[in-house]
Structure 1
Amino acid sequence: MIRSDILKELIPVISDQLVVCNIGLPSQELHMLDDQPSNFYMLGTMGLSSSIGLGLALAQNKKVISIDGDGSVLTNFGTLPTIANNAADNFILLIIDNGSYGSTGDQPTYAGKKTSLTAVAKACGCENVIECSAKDTANVVKEAIAGDKMTIIVSKCESGNIKVPVITMDPVVIRDRFMKTVAS
């Protein structure tokens, strides 16, 4: 399975949740597969989906799911200790680990080599870290949503991309409709 396959299986689980989605192809795939006002698409801030999701979770009580990639988490390595030291039991970080920078041509990341993001998250102090296969991701996310504990999920999948259109929606529109959903 590749990232887009995981997203397809996740849609029934996350479509009524607040979702902050990683820059580039992950946002474009989610937008194409299931555009929702409750989805916040990152359009220019690599590595910040997890940080923005955590901030949103800390600021209100609804569940927040950040969908991030291994390359983005590696780009913003400070996010994991920040998450560990500012626990929000309404926050779920899903790291789709395909071992590559998918949006820029599938160059390998260190997570595709020796670095284990599961081990790194645990070393940073994250207490509820689950590594799963791509095929188990939807069920693991469903259990995390039903739970009441901050959860970091590292979903291991194959590298690969599907062709998707760019998101043509104005970033202000994305923000405004998302914020209306958060406030409702």
Structure 2
Amino acid sequence: MKRIDAINEIAAKAQETDALLIGNIGIPCKELHQACDMVNNFYMLGSMGLASSIGLGLALSLPERKIIAIDGDGSVLMNMGSLATIAWQAPENYLLVIVDNGAYGSTGNQPTATLKNTDLAEVAKGAGNKKVYVVDTPESLKETLKSMDNGIIVVKAEPGNTDAPVIGMAPEAILKRFMDKSSQPSR
């Protein structure tokens, strides 16, 4: 599966459930923007490793809203402590989807530790997360997303990026529209 396939399935879930959707830094955000730009999306343009933490913070502060964060293997490796904090807090409204392509996609596809021997699903379980699933096809991701509103899904994907264009909004505009949407009740 390609990362864009996973992004398409995750975005469809977010649309169906009116979830707030946090995108991972760099090219994955550009791909999310191109695939499914909506006011529910928050595009991380910096702060590698913090999509999972931002998602958790939103889930805790907005318990009535569904929150989905898309993170990458490189970012989660950079902030593995977030997996323990997610397990400790265990919000019922938070779904973390880690797209593990074994590469730092936004900086040239250099290999991450998951390419060789680090298993992020096992790390998440070891941190205390109870609902952790691994998928490797768009169909298995779609089926898993149908039955999950919280927990962690590790999506095994191939390295590689699309030619998604740069997001044409200023960071301030992204933040303002997301804050306006997140302050409204979900439908």
TM normalised by structure 1 equals: 0.94
Aligned residue runs from structure 1 range 10-159, under 5 A? 10-15=10-15, 16-60=18-62, 61-135=64-138, 136-145=140-149, 150-159=150-159
CA offset at residue 161 of structure 1?
A: 0.9
Q: 2-side partners of 1:127 and 1:11: how far apart? A: 24
Letter in 1 for 2:36: D
CA RMSD of aligned residues (A): 1.1
Deviates more, 1:89-98 or 1:150-159: 150-159
Q: 2-side partners of 1:79 and 1:10: how far apart? A: 20
Letter in 1 for 2:78: T
CA offset at residue 80 of structure 1?
A: 0.7
TM normalised by structure 2 equals: 0.92
Letter in 1 for 2:143: N
CA offset at residue 9 of structure 1?
A: 3.2
Q: 1-side partners of 2:113 and 2:85: how far apart? A: 21
Q: 1-side partners of 2:14 and 2:175: how far apart? A: 19
Partner-residue secondary structure (3-state), 1:178: helix
Structure 1: gaps (5+ residues): none
